[in-house]
C-alpha cells in the first residue's frame, strides 16, 4: 500500500463524516444513512467525485442539496476539487437506508 492509497482512504473516511452532517430536510436522517450516496471516488490528486441520488426526482432540495454536498466536501483541507453527480439509476428506495436510519424512522 502506498502513502497515497492510505491518504485517499483516510480522506474517504473524512468525506463520509462530512456527508453524515448533511440532512434531508424532509426526513430527520443524514443523507449517508438514508442511502442517498451511491459512491465516493477520490483520486491521487485529491479530486473527489460523489455519485448520489435524491429521494425523488422532484425533491424540493434537488438544486441545493448537491451544492451543499460539494461545498462541505470542498471545505476539507485535503480536497482539491469536489463534484457531485446526481443519478436516478437505480432509483432510491427505502431498502437503501441503513439499519440505523430505519430504526430512527420507526421502520424496524
Confidence (pTM): 0.90
Residues of the chain with pLDDT > 90: what percent? 75
**Four-way CATH pick for 3-91: 3.30.300.130, 3.30.980.10, 3.30.470.20, 1.10.1200.10:** 3.30.300.130
Length of the chain: 108
The whole-number pLDDT of residue 108 equals 84
Using an 8 Å Cβ cutoff, are 41 and 52 in contact? no
Contact indicator for 82, 48 with CB cutoff of 8 Å: yes
pLDDT band at residue 8, thresholds of 50, 70 and 90?
Answer: confident
Place of cell 467525485: 49
* % of the chain with per-residue pLDDT over 70: 94
Q: Give the tens place of pLDDT for each residue, 12-54.
A: 999 999 999 999 888 889 999 999 999 999 998 999 999 999 9
- Domain positions in the chain are 3-91
Q: Which residues of 12-24 are buried (b: 16+ CB within 10 A; e: fewer)?
A: eebbeebbeebbb
Average pLDDT, the chain: 92
Amino acid at each position: 500500500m502506498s502513502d497515497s492509497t492510505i491518504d485517499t482512504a483516510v480522506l474517504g473516511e473524512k468525506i463520509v463524516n462530512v456527508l453524515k452532517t448533511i440532512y434531508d430536510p424532509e426526513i430527520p436522517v443524514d443523507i449517508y444513512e438514508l442511502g442517498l450516496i451511491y459512491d465516493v471516488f477520490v483520486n491521487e490528486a485529491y479530486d473527489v467525485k460523489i455519485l448520489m441520488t435524491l429521494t425523488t426526482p422532484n425533491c424540493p432540495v434537488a438544486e441545493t442539496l448537491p451544492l451543499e454536498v460539494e461545498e462541505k466536501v470542498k471545505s476539507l483541507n485535503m480536497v482539491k476539487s469536489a463534484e457531485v453527480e446526481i443519478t436516478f439509476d437505480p432509483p432510491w428506495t427505502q431498502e437503501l437506508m441503513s439499519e440505523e436510519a430505519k430504526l430512527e424512522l420507526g421502520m424496524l
